[in-house]
Amino acid sequence: MSLKPALLSSNNGSAAVESAIALALFCPALIVGLGVLYGAFAKGWVGRSAREAAVCLTTPSPPLNCRRKLENTLATGLPFGETTIVQFHGDRLGSTVRIKLQWIAGQSTELKGVVRRPVYYPRGRQ
């Protein structure tokens, strides 16, 4: 029996090709994943902010202060996307705040915060 020497072929460059393929698949998946995470965070942030503004409208605080606080909260928490306050209303029956969130590629979501209780009026202001 004779043993034949094993031929060793050069694998130079195959690791680079495999890495390029893996990177080509990983980067788009990472971008989509981050987009989904940011979308979920943005919806939660806008919904929470709308609810807080609706609660603020039920307090003796002037509505202008509540609106400024809402605008600051939205600007601080959402560096991407565009928000528009669609409805900002409070009366004796409760308060409603609706906010439209404009996503990338023209997608939009409208969220609202509603408080169904009488607005608090201090004595003498009724």
Q: Tens digit of pLDDT per residue, the chain (126 long)?
A: 566 655 556 666 677 888 888 888 899 999 999 888 988 898 889 889 988 998 888 888 899 999 999 999 999 988 887 888 998 988 777 888 988 888 777 778 888 788 876 555 555 544
pTM of the complete model = 0.71
Length of the chain: 126
Query: What pLDDT is attached to residue 10?
Result: 61
How do the domains of the chain map onto residue ranges? 17-115
